[in-house]
Amino acid sequence: MFTFCRYCLASCGVEVTVADNRVVKISADKDNPHSWRDFCAKGRNAHQLVSHPRRIVAPMKRVGDRYIEATWDEAIADIAARMMALIDADGPDTIGAYYGNPAGFSSSNLIFMNAWLDGIGTANRYAVGSVDQNALHVVAEAMYGSPIMVPVSDIDNCDYFLLVGTNPAVSAWNWVETAPGGWQRALQRQREGATIVVVDPLRTESADRADTHLAVRPGQDWALLLAMVKVILDDGLEHTADCVDRATGCEELRRLTDTADLDDLATRCDIPRAEIERIAREFATARSAMAITRTGVSLHITGTVGEWLGHVLNVITGRMDRPGGRRFEPGYLDALRLAGLAKTPDHLSRVAGRPMVAGAHALSELPAEITTPGPGRIRAMVINAGNPVVSGPDGAALDEALAQLDLLVAIDFVQRESHRHAHWLLPAVHWLERDDLLALTSNMHDEPYVQFGARAVAPPPEAHEEWRIFVDLALAMRTPLFGSAMVTRFIAATRTLARVTRRPALAFQPKWIDRLIIAMSRKVNGHKLSWRKLQRHPHGMVLGPREYGRFDAALRTSDGRIHLAPDSLVARARELLDTPTPTAPPGHPFLLGNRRHRHSMNSYLNDLPGLHPGGRRSVAVIHPDDAAELGIATGDRIQVFSPAGAVELDAEIDDRPRRGVVIVDHGWGSRVFDPAGSAPAIVHGVNRNLLVTGSPVDPLSQTPALSSTYVGVRPVSAVTEGEDRREQTFTLGSYEV
Ligand SMILES: Nc1nc2c(c(=O)[nH]1)N[C@H]1C(S)=C(S)[C@@H](COP(=O)(O)OP(=O)(O)OC[C@H]3O[C@@H](n4cnc5c(=O)[nH]c(N)nc54)[C@H](O)[C@@H]3O)O[C@H]1N2
Ligand SMILES: Nc1nc2c(c(=O)[nH]1)N[C@H]1C(S)=C(S)[C@@H](COP(=O)(O)OP(=O)(O)OC[C@H]3O[C@@H](n4cnc5c(=O)[nH]c(N)nc54)[C@H](O)[C@@H]3O)O[C@H]1N2
Ligand code: SF4
Ligand SMILES: [Mo]
């Protein structure tokens, strides 16, 4: 059977061979017209998570230090009763929820989680965005009027690629867009004469293939990009018509660049001024070009300004909505309009007093929201498809806070680090076991495309999709789903009808929504979709050629124009210009860099047997000159420490990182427990985010300095016994916001 992989947005088409409801083999679906070209070992081994020896296959309830299997009736009744008692005593905000990255790859999970949370009326919502793509949402809202107006890459027509803070050779061309085989296609363009510039403090696999690699100082992309904008405006290389007719704010932008000094900016990002001038002029004068900014830009407290200036570069050089630049893909569903209907609540967080970004509060605020007494304190929490102790800052503080909850419910396949203190472990359904129509991402594909993600095998009998868990809880708690008691009553009525008539198909299923979406979908290039057509095309359908000229009509700003210089971004840029470049605090001379592996998916595939043949561990990569000063050699056991924590791991001496940057891989060090038995936890590598403090954060995206935390490094032999790492506190000085 044919479906597509839902681990990452590359969305590779896969062929799944099944026998007796077991996956025998997963290979690339070469007949998928859009999306098989990034197919990797994570997809090939996806069934290993399905048959994980520690998979939770029934609800598990904590009893003392152990877990025992329970029925769903018991689980739902107990969770609902405890939550209702908490809400009665302290109000709706006593219930909190966090969702992680995989929740977005299900067509029903987040809709029903939010419907349930809306019904409860809690504002205590936390999401992966503050440690991932919030900067993009903030910028898209400010410039284009919608947080999900995301321009896609027109790779096959591009002559000049400026890739900032991304390593597509490893991560696939992959951040809130689906451009399958994007990196291979960029390399093909390079063979045809295109130029690739990679900006990264690390000489990555992508940088190895680039025409130019700029080893920027971490967290200082904003200075590099502002300098490029300045060169372009000063030299009069801007696309006049686009700056004047399609956009507002060019004059404000010019006033900002007038106050900036090129030599100062060059010093900040540590890239020679002449090199910046060369790249800026090449970018502006290339026949076609695109700037891409990704997690290497966003995971810093300067990230939103960096992200913004990447978009500014595209707009002022006329790259928006033109061949080889960044397009707007209308898709078959008007997701922007739908998203516009669901307004982010106007809520300030209780402890830090910050607004929500893209519908959620920042992960860094979660520990204090759980531990600080007073009305609105979180006492019960659901962790839905996430591992925030590993993926977010200061995991130790979050772990301690989670331990204090009256109720922690985890919905996942196995019990990982963040689920350590769970009172209930609820078994989830894997994408190989689930149907999905990812209609809300239809305008993130780099060509008009639709595919129904059919399930390959049936889930274990007691595993439930998340939507069903949230609906069951809503029914038990009498929660008005989507804020409407009618909806809850309707769903209850369909279930009664199904039971009475013994026709399970009469009970509400999210597929009804999918069918409605297809029925209401808009024509793409003259194609009108139908459910039957969709089912008859298991490899997916490309719905005609890429269109240009759809960007301006899609804009949701009040005046229908692109806002080049939103006040909040200009103000933050001025603040950064007025702040001296941060310098290392005493004893912590290194910046903690970041890396992903082709065979890891954030924190959750590292323990699977088919992956990581070369070794299942994380290392600290140190530049030879730094290592020589420290007296450290490859294979030495070292400690990397910060005021937040310390980790021990092996050193690897390599000249890939720039001097002063120590790379520790993201996503390792998450334990997989054995809730059904008493076997020791499985763990590989260390959690580098234990070194990252939850503050300061970027005031706009609320993202902490995940990739620019100051750390110290020493041989383990130099660590004094009994030393208290928490004594090494310092203020972050000019980094404080
Ligand atoms: N230092 C540093 N930190 C980072 C990053 C970085 O580059 N460096 N990257 C950031 C980014 S980009 C991201 S996206 C985040 C990821 O942050 P998270 O999403 O919080 O963490 P993941 O490691 O993706 O964990 C996902 C969990 O969901 C489970 N899961 C998978 N599929 C399903 C499903 O269908 N249903 C349910 N219920 N569970 C499922 C997995 O078993 C796993 O336990 O980490 C961020 N943190
Ligand atoms: N194999 C694999 N693929 C994945 C994932 C995975 O975990 N594994 N995760 C998926 C997810 S959730 C996401 S969000 C995407 C992310 O996709 P990308 O954003 O491309 O992620 P990375 O590969 O981590 O590349 C980020 C790069 O930024 C660099 N960097 C760090 N700090 C800075 C800085 O200050 N400036 C600049 N210019 N660069 C910097 C890092 O060295 C790194 O090479 O990948 C997706 N694809
Ligand atoms: S994990 Fe691998 S196979 Fe799956 S979508 Fe991403 S790149 Fe494709
Ligand atoms: Mo991500």
Q: Which helix (H) or strand (E) holds 209?
A: helix 205-209
Same domain, yes or no, for 222 and 309?
yes
Give the pLDDT of residue 729.
33
Expressed in angstroms and rounded, the spacing between residue 59 Cα and the centre of ligand 2 is 35
Same structural domain for residues 558 and 621?
no
The mean pLDDT of 262-281, rounded to a whole number, is 98
Tell me how far the alpha carbon of residue 299 lies from the centroid of ligand 2, in angstroms.
Answer: 9
626 and 704: one domain?
Answer: yes
The bridge status of strand 247-248 relative to strand 562-563 is parallel
Is the CB of 174 within 6 Å of ligand 1?
no
Q: Is the peptide bond before 696 cis (omega within 30 degrees of 0)?
A: yes
* pLDDT score at 587: 94
* 590 in a structural domain: yes
How far apart are the C-alpha atoms of 626 and 636, rounded to whole Å?
Answer: 14
pLDDT the model gives residue 612: 84
724 backbone dihedrals φ, ψ, rounded to 5° = -95, 110
Ligand 2 near 594 CB (within 6 A)? yes
Q: Is the beta carbon of 427 within 6 A of some atom in ligand 1?
A: no
Is residue 643 classed as helix, strand or coil in its secondary structure? coil
At residue 721, the pLDDT reads 67
| Cα–Cα distance list, 654 to 210, 658, 659 (Å) | 19, 10, 10
Q: How far apart are CA 244 and CA 250, in angstroms?
A: 7
Is the pLDDT confidence value at 734 over 60?
no
Bridging pattern class, strands 661-664 and 619-622: antiparallel
Kindly state whether residues 564 and 619 are assigned to the same domain.
no
Task: Reply yes or no on whether the pLDDT at 156 is more than 50.
Answer: yes
pLDDT at residue 339, as a whole number: 84
Q: Are residues 193 and 257 in the same domain?
A: yes
User: Minimal CA–CA distance to 324: which of 368, 297, 287?
Assistant: 287
Cβ neighbours of residue 490 closer than 8 Å, sequence gap 6 or more: 508
Centre of ligand 2 to C-alpha 550, Å, is 29
One domain for residues 206 and 175: yes
pLDDT digits (tens, 9 = 90+) for 603-646: 999 989 888 877 778 899 999 999 999 999 999 999 999 999 99
Give, as one character, the DSSP assignment of residue 413: S
Residue 137 lies in a domain: no
Our answer on whether the CB atom of 164 is closer than 6 Å to any ligand 2 atom is: yes
Q: Does position 171 have pLDDT exceeding 50, yes or no?
A: yes
With vertex at residue 154, the alpha carbon angle to CA 337 and CA 131, rounded to the nearest 5 degrees, is 60
Ligand 2: residue whose CA is nearest its atom 23: 167
Looking at the CA of residue 43, tell me the nearest atom of ligand 3.
3
704 CB near ligand 1 (under 6 Å) = no
Mutational pocket test of ligand 3: of 3, 4, 6, 8, the residue with most ligand atoms within 8 Å of the beta carbon:
8
Show the 3-state SS of 105-158. Answer: HCCCHHHHHHHHHHHHCCCCEEEHHHHCCHHHHHHHHHHHCCCCCCCEECHHHC
Angstrom CA distances, 511 to 119, 333, 386, 655, stand at 22, 16, 24, 52
Describe the strand order of the beta sheet including 2-4 as a list of residue ranges: 2-4, 13-19, 22-28
CATH of the domain at 639: 2.40.40.20
Looking at the structure, tell me whether residues 570 and 590 fall in a common domain. no
Å from CA of 711 to ligand 2 middle? 20
Q: Is the CB of 598 under 6 A from ligand 2?
A: yes
Pairing between β-strand 60-63 and β-strand 424-427 as defined by DSSP bridges: antiparallel
* Residue 732 in this model has a pLDDT that exceeds 60: no
Please choose, from the candidates 283, 275, 272, the residue with its C-alpha nearest in 3D space to the C-alpha of residue 233: 283
Give the closest residue to 308 by CA, choosing from 128, 134, 555, 101: 134
One domain for residues 563 and 680: no
- In single-letter form, the type of residue at position 507 comes to A
CB of residue 203 inside a 6 A radius of ligand 2: no
Check if 40 has its Cβ closer than 6 Å to any atom of ligand 3.
yes
563 pocket-lining for ligand 1 (C-beta < 6 Å): no
Best mutation site among 42, 101, 465 for ligand 1 pocket (most ligand atoms within 8 Å of CB): 101
Determine the atom of ligand 3 nearest the C-alpha atom of 46. Answer: 4
The residue whose CA is least distant from atom 6 of ligand 3 is: 8
* Ligand 3 centre distance from Cα of residue 32 (Å): 14
Do both 297 and 170 map to the same domain?
yes
- Nearest atom in ligand 2 to the alpha carbon of residue 168 is 20
Q: Tell me the average pLDDT across 322-331.
A: 96
Which atom number of ligand 3 is nearest to the Cα of residue 601? 1
Q: Which residue has the tokens 């006492």?
A: 379
Are residues 222 and 312 located together in one domain of the fold? yes
Protein residue with its CA nearest to atom 13 in ligand 1: 132
Strands (E) in 269-427, as ranges, are: 290-293, 326-327, 380-384, 407-412, 424-427
In this model, does residue 727 exceed pLDDT 50? no
Instruction: List alpha helices for 478-530, DSSP H.
Output: 485-501, 511-520
CB contact set of 192 (below 8 Å; sequence gap of 6+): none
Contact criterion met (CB below 8 Å) for 468 and 76: no
Q: Are residues 588 and 570 in the same domain?
A: no
708 lines ligand 1 (CB under 6 A): no
Q: What's the pLDDT tens digit per position in 428-486?
A: 999 999 999 999 999 999 999 999 999 999 999 999 999 999 999 999 999 999 999 99
Confidence grade of residue 505 (pLDDT, cut at 50, 70, 90)? very high
Mean pLDDT across the stretch 228-233? 98
Kindly tell me if the per-residue pLDDT of 10 is higher than 50: yes
For residue 737, the model assigns a pLDDT of 21
Residue range 492-514: average pLDDT?
96
The identity of residue 686, as a single letter, is V
| Cβ 127 under 6 angstroms from ligand 3 | no
Asked if residue 728 has pLDDT above 60, the reply is no
Task: Identify whether 509 is part of a domain.
Answer: no
Query: Radius of gyration over alpha carbons of the chain, in Å?
Result: 25
pLDDT at 195 over 80: yes
- In angstroms, how far apart are the furthest CA atoms of the chain? 77
Residue 337 has a pLDDT of 87
Contact 35, 449 (CB under 8 A): yes
Residue 76 lies in a domain: no
Of 354, 388, 389, 349, nearest in space to 369 by CA: 349
Sequence letter at residue 203:
R
Distance 658 CA to ligand 3 centre (A): 29
- Co-location of 702 and 596 in the same domain: yes
- How many other CB atoms sit within 10 Å of the CB of residue 550? 14
Residue 172 Cβ inside 6 Å of ligand 2? The answer reads yes
- Evaluate if residue 735 carries a pLDDT over 80: no
**Domain that residue 694 falls in:** 583-734
360 lies in some domain:
no
Contact 710, 366 (CB under 8 A): no
> For a pLDDT cut of 70, what percent of the chain falls above it?
97
Q: What is the structure's pLDDT at 650? A: 96
Residue 602 lies in a domain: yes
The string of DSSP letters for 548-616 reads -S-HHHH--STTSSEESS-HHHHHHHHHHHHSPPP-PPTT--EEEE----TT--TTSSTT-TTS-TT-S
Test site for ligand 1: of 42, 391, 693, most ligand atoms within 8 A of the Cβ: 391
Kindly identify the ligand whose nearest atom is closest to the C-alpha of 9.
3
Q: Would you place residue 320 in the very low, low, confident or very high pLDDT band (cuts 50, 70, 90)?
A: very high
C-beta separation of 26 from 13 below 8 A:
no
* Closest to 111 measured CA to CA, from 508, 423, 611: 508
Q: Is the pLDDT of residue 726 over 60?
A: no
For residue 274, tell me if it sits in a domain: yes
Q: Are strands 562-563 and 125-127 parallel, antiparallel or unpaired?
A: unpaired
Q: Each residue of 42-91: pLDDT tens digit?
A: 999 999 999 999 999 999 999 998 999 999 999 999 999 999 999 999 99
Structure tokens at 510: 């999210």
Cα of 387 from ligand 1 centre, angstroms: 6
From the CA of 170, the nearest ligand is: 2
Contacts of 678 (CB under 8 A, 6+ apart): 66
The total domain count for the chain is: 2
CA nearest neighbour of 599 among 584, 591, 589, 609: 609
Q: Angle at the Cα of 453 (from 447 to 459), degrees rounded to 5?
A: 160
Average pLDDT of the residues of the chain? 95
pLDDT computed for residue 722 by the predictor: 61
Mutate to test the pocket of ligand 1, among 175, 399, 413, 686 (most ligand atoms within 8 A of CB): 413
Does pLDDT of 306 surpass 70? yes
What atom of ligand 3 comes closest to residue 40's alpha carbon? 2
For residue 287, what is the domain's CATH number? 3.40.228.10
pLDDT digits 0-9 by tens, 678-722: 999 999 999 999 999 999 999 999 999 999 999 999 999 888 766
Taking the centre of ligand 3 as the mean of its atom positions, its distance from the CA of residue 38, in whole angstroms, is: 6
**Inside any domain, residue 224:** yes
Closest ligand, as measured to the CA of 113: 1
What is the predicted pLDDT for the residue at 614? Answer: 75
Which pLDDT does position 723 carry in this prediction? 61
Decide if 428 contacts 58 (C-beta within 8 A): no
* Residue 179 reports pLDDT greater than 50: yes
CA distance 533 to 542: 12
Give the pair of three-digit tokens for residue 178: 């689906």
pLDDT of residue 706: 97
pLDDT, residue 719, reads: 85
DSSP 178: B
